[in-house]
Chains A and B, each alone.
Chain A
Amino acid sequence: MKVQPTLLFILLINFQFLFSQDVGLSVFTIPDSLTQNANAVVRFDNTSIALESSKKMKVKVKKAITVLNKLGNDNSEIVVYYDKSNHIKRLKAIVYNALGKEIKDISKKDFKDYSAADGFSLFNDGRLKYYEYIPTSYPYTIYYEYEVESSNTAFIRRWQPIDSYNQSVQQSIFTIVFPNDLTIHKVEKKFKGYPIDKNISTGSLSYKLNAMPAIKYENLAPPLINITPLLKLASNKFSLEGIEGTANNWNEFGKWMYNNLLSSRSEIPEATKLKIKELVKDVENPIEKAKIVYEYVQNKTRYISVQVGIGGWMPMLAKDVDRLGYGDCKALTNYTKSLMDVAGVTSYYTAVYADNPKQDMERDVVSVQGNHVFLYIPSKEKDIWLECTSQSVPFGYQGTFTDDREVLVISPEGGQLKHTSAYKDTESFQKTHATYTITPEGGIKATVKISSAGVQYRNHFSLEKQSKRDVEEHYKSRYWPYINNMAIDNYHFVNDKDSIVFNEFVTLKAADYASFSGDRMLFALNAFNRLTYIPKRYRNRKLPLEISRGFIDKDEFEIILPDTYDIEAIPNDITIENKFGLYHLSVEKINPTKLKYTRTLLIKKGEYPKEDYKNYRSFRKKIAKLDKTKIVLIKKQS
């Protein structure tokens, strides 16, 4: 026992040594390999965490960044968050010129103090200190250091040494010391192939990354965080806004969450209980009951976020949501769950990393994770995942917000990791059926029906809530921008919330859809679903290709031609099939003035090595060209 302080002492001396190395900050000492593709160079980034107990943590950061050009300026912004549980003990910065000579000294009072408004909360008690240096010349180096003391140990800062594109790292060091009554769980991701040294001993961990060249951003690559080193840590004993906990596995963690943050927050006023019971009284099937409760919540509530202290982690009381009719994701999920209980439907409060890109709860690091909560209803046929913050998504629709990822399901018995449903490529469909007439003047008149489901449902269903002006604007400017002079005669929508298919019915016309050349008339056959985007060209692709979600489009158009024209040329049928998907196009002549155009496009979900990128690009390029395939008509000689 007595050994411990000495050990800590030695370690501290080591840090002193590490941090006092006021390495020459001249830009001339940066190796050439680190300036290629780089807008900024992290000269050193030293984070040392002292987890003194499960109730106290000190984080020290000393970092120097050389900004090589204007594009690197964002990398030199300094932002330090604080609130009632996180105190800034020290904060300063120094700016050096290219030669490494000090040109500006910045003290804590020079930092601007802002409310840490997250952009969606009505109120958030977090605040931040901010400093932005305005350079007069490049390159320059900005050094800063700060210390934050925190009573929250439920999350420990992660180490992500490569956190930005076009930024190289000369050295990044991460160290944590902790007393021996705490166990630190850790997970090291994507370390392979990166110049990382690590040193693990009793009561301390340290990691070092040296001389990492800048990575350039490339389209359709996996997110940076999924392909570069990431260290995540958690302490088995922790404290969150004054609430202490111990958890060595997800089951224990779930139990702690349930007991401290969720239980006894579910009371529902009698009047509402009666209402719910009345609504479900003749319904047997629990899923049907759940649908009724969900609809009730959607009609009664709206999403408003207020994050203050423990309120950032603990849901508002269900009875407050009942009275106010609003809440954040925690509050609305807890409220929905409480109503499900009243209706006799089993459901679970569930934590998740929501939105794009998909991110899993980290299995090996038991800790407070995720940025969102929603509701899980187990069911024999198919698991149901309910988003409680939206007034409009259909029952059980996940879209791209919570699909296909590991989540933490919490019950009084404990926590359990589960994987949410993923859409199959063919489940995310869009079917376009149209009949269109080309007039002798080259105009087009059409009735179009578009049905969309799965991930594609999400791209369409919000139209339902939009004003006429916005809907027309959508078709004219965004959906069919290539049809000029369009007039929408009428439209209506049928949102089939049971099968989760959104149907659009549009009648439209446009002058001059076809173009003329002497006696010939030309127009693109694919009037209503062109895939024109071509992935960017890279001469030397470095990163793998990721298609994070697949989809299928099926199109069928009946085309009526003007009878004053003959068909001069009709495109040939074509099918392209490869590992990325399928493209098929065919044109059938029904009679001299009637054609049938059929198109199928399947893009598969997948991950591919970088070498495949150019093949995928050429596939998309072909599609873009084929979608513009024209037919030629020639005026009848009479």
Chain B
Amino acid sequence: MKKIILIALLLVATLPVTFAQNTKFGKVSKEELEEKYYPLDSSANAAYLYRKRNTYTVVTNGEIQLITEIQTRLKIYNKKGFDWATKQVALYGDNSSRQRMSGIKAVTYNLENGKIVATKLNKKEIFSENKTDGLTIKKFTMPNVKVGSVLEWTYKIYSPFIASIDDMVVQHKIPAKNQELRVKLLEWFYFNKRQKGYYPFRIHETSMSNSSFDTNDKVLEIKIKNVPALIEEPYVNSMDNYATALQLEIAALNAPVLQVYKTFATSWSEISKEIYKSPYFGGQLAKNSYFKEDLQNVVNATAPLNEKIIKTFQFVKSKVKWNGVYSKYASKGVKKAYKEGVGNVADINLMLVAMLRNVGVNANPVLVSTRDNGIPLFPTSKGFNYVIAGVEIQDGVILLDATEKYSLPNILPLRDLNWEGRIVRQSGSSNSVRLFPTKHSKQTCFLNTKIDDEGLLTGIERVLYTDLRALQNRTHYNKVSENELVAKIEKDNDDIEIDDFKTMNEDDLSKSLIYQFNFETDNQIEEINGKFYFSPLLFHTEKENPFKLAERQFPIDFGVPWEEKYSISVEIPEGYAIESKPENVAYALPDKLGTYKFAAIVKGNKLQILSDTKINFPIISPIHYGALKAFYKKMIDKQLEKVVLAKK
């Protein structure tokens, strides 16, 4: 007896800060209403006090349905938190099968003169917006919301789409005090589960007997307290990629009682095979009569491989324009897309594969998850949302994306550059393919300049872009007028004034894109007390460190390895001599991640300056953030040092 009391006392002793929470709907406590800020993060505008999700299967009239019950208790700490008082739920499907929402109950609680006052949401304050075909948004905003309010809502979603279970999201943009997330599926379901994100959590797996079918339901539970908010960081492709969640992918359904046997993909190779089987994917590759004749006129089947690839690639780009839609499946079909000259990603790139095969190139589709779709760490069919073409050769794979006018073999637009894709062969076999390029994207800049005795700087600049840098510049600026481009370059370079602007190789993708111009500026050379001061890289000086945060959790994502090089010659005005100049240096990042070199050399009446920054990896782990930040600081400090000219 004594022992038990002791344990009880100990328990009480460890519990003083967290009062027992009654999580039942409607049982909001005074303490919750009185809380002024989130105890573990005073900057939170709102927090989930309790989040419960219960997803389970039911069988009605021989049909399996997925039901999700949501219960949320949310605290508003300040006016900025009011945005959280509006709830929107997306419901998918058309007339034949659609998701439904019902049982919406929502109540706002406030403390008025020490009493809890509840205000209910009226049914007529719930709106249903028919967004577009196949998508309806249910929305409501809570009544009588004030600073300090606690909001509660609950609802159910009925879904016929049993193979698609929404991610069990654990980490949100606001902190979550207490979460209970549960999925209960019929024993006949086989699934894969995976954890994504950086915040650790545990999954509790059990089974529960199901008397209706004399089976055992599979239960997955996550009970977790005090999950901090997900904080936005710069240079990340999409924050959603890092939100902690449990993902479930249904692999198979074997329901002998219902006579339902379905398999869904479980591994990358099976998923690829599954996708290939679709008439909107593999089916599109079989057709070739629609282009055969046109293609024969352009591509000679006996030509060397490289020529066949590039000619076919350019042919597709010239024939069909991308409508901006991402998809791994054709929408109109290759034939119609070819005829109309417009198509989605799959229409275009599957057509490319079919054409390449037709001229005897061993081409196959490569499934891709674009950067905004998330990192394809685990096998899931949703994991791929895009397709490009690949040609396997002895020392690797040549990747092609014909949706982008200015892309080239192995020079893909940034959206494609996301870890690994999967090449799927006719035989059904598949392999992963690295999407990041290994070659550096380069910007090389030559300046030939002269300072006159008034401190006016004039000169000529020639800047060359290769690979992704060239692709991006061509995509953005080939379509704008020269005047606009000149204005942009002037703006980006301390308002230099440009004349005689020339673009070279605008559409000649085999060569570097080159801009060349003459310029004049009176704001680069500072005259103080008869001496001239200037930064060695002039208007190309990197003035700001892009990395300002003290710490960082997520990788720094550059997309490609890159190099930025400046080679500058400055002619010194007559009667002046170089009094001092920055010293030559070379810095390196650990693990060969990158280097910076700077040199300033005097040659007669000229100063030759060389600055070269190189980052050798497309993505840098956050463990190197400190080093990268320091590297940038040293590089910028060097560029900010001055050259001083004094009268002889």
Contact = CB atoms under 8 A, between A and B. Distances in A.
Given A70-B479, A325-B146, A484 B636 contact: yes
Contact of B528 (A122, A136, A630): A630
A391 B78 CA distance: 11
Interface string A389-406: 001100000000000000
Interface stretch (A113-121, A155-163, A356-364, A591-599): A113-121
B130 interface: yes
A502 interface: no
A325 B342 contact: no
Nearest to B342: A134
Contacts of A628: 523, 526
B461 interface: no
Contact of B526 (A113, A123, A630): A630
Interface in B201-255: 231
Contacts of A484: 543-545, 633, 636
Contacts of A304: 86, 141
A304 B637 CA distance: 49
Interface in B633-648: 633, 636-637, 640-644
Given A517-B533, A625-B523, A537 B497 contact: yes
Contact of B145 (A123, A325, A631): A325
Nearest to B231: A469
Interface in B116-156: 119, 125, 127, 129-133, 139, 141, 143-147
Contacts of B544: 481-482, 484
A323 B119 contact: yes
B641 A325 contact: no
Interface residues of B, number: 59
A71 interface: yes
A300 B10 CA distance: 44
A326 B548 contact: no
Given A485-B545, A621-B495, A299 B146 contact: yes
Contact of B127 (A71, A123, A568): A123
Contacts of A515: 640-642
A468 interface: yes
A76 to B, nearest CB: 14
Contacts of A621: 495, 523
Contact of B487 (A122, A473, A536): A536
A84 B487 CA distance: 47
Contacts of B129: 115, 117, 123
B139 A122 contact: yes
B132 A113 contact: yes
B143 A520 contact: no
A537 B489 CA distance: 12
B80 interface: yes
A632 B141 contact: no
A302 B82 contact: yes
A518 interface: yes
A325 B143 contact: yes
Contacts of B130: 115
B141 to A, nearest CB: 5
Contact of A476 (B146, B491, B548): B548
B528 A534 contact: no
Interface string A91-133: 0000000000000000000001111010000110000000000
B164 interface: no
Contact of B479 (A69, A391, A486, A537): A69
Interface string A502-526: 0000000000100111101010000
Contacts of B342: 134, 136
B644 A518 contact: yes
Nearest to B644: A517
A468 B145 CA distance: 25
A392 B495 contact: no
Contact of A324 (B143, B147, B324, B526): B143
A432 B396 CA distance: 61
A468 B43 contact: yes
A62 B548 CA distance: 55
B440 interface: no
Nearest to A524: B526
Interface string A464-502: 010111000100110001101110000000000000000
A391 B490 CA distance: 42
A536 B636 contact: no
A135 interface: yes
B533 A630 contact: yes
B341 interface: yes
Contacts of B141: 122, 304, 326
B479 A324 contact: no
B507 interface: no
B182 interface: no
Contacts of B119: 323-325
A519 to B, nearest CB: 8
Contacts of B495: 534, 537, 621, 624
B600 to A, nearest CB: 12
A211 interface: no
A569 interface: yes
A537 B127 CA distance: 50
Contacts of B78: 465
A527 interface: no
Nearest to A113: B132
Interface in B522-572: 522-523, 526, 528-529, 531, 533, 543-545, 548
A481 B323 CA distance: 39
B491 A134 contact: no
Given A323-B119, A484-B544, A515-B641, A465 B146 contact: no
Nearest to B548: A476
Given A122-B139, A621-B495, A632 B528 contact: yes
Contacts of A231: none
A197 B367 CA distance: 60
Those 8 A-B pairs whose CB atoms lie nearest each other, nearest first = A569-B529, A136-B341, A123-B127, A518-B580, A325-B144, A467-B43, A517-B642, A324-B143
Given A71-B480, A136-B342, 18 more contacts: A70-B479, A115-B129, A123-B127, A135-B321, A306-B127, A325-B144, A326-B141, A465-B79, A469-B231, A473-B548, A485-B633, A515-B642, A516-B641, A534-B495, A536-B487, A571-B528, A628-B526, A630-B528
20 contacts: A70-B479, A71-B481, A114-B131, A117-B131, A136-B320, A299-B146, A302-B145, A323-B143, A323-B144, A325-B119, A326-B141, A326-B143, A484-B543, A515-B641, A517-B533, A517-B642, A536-B487, A536-B490, A537-B495, A569-B528
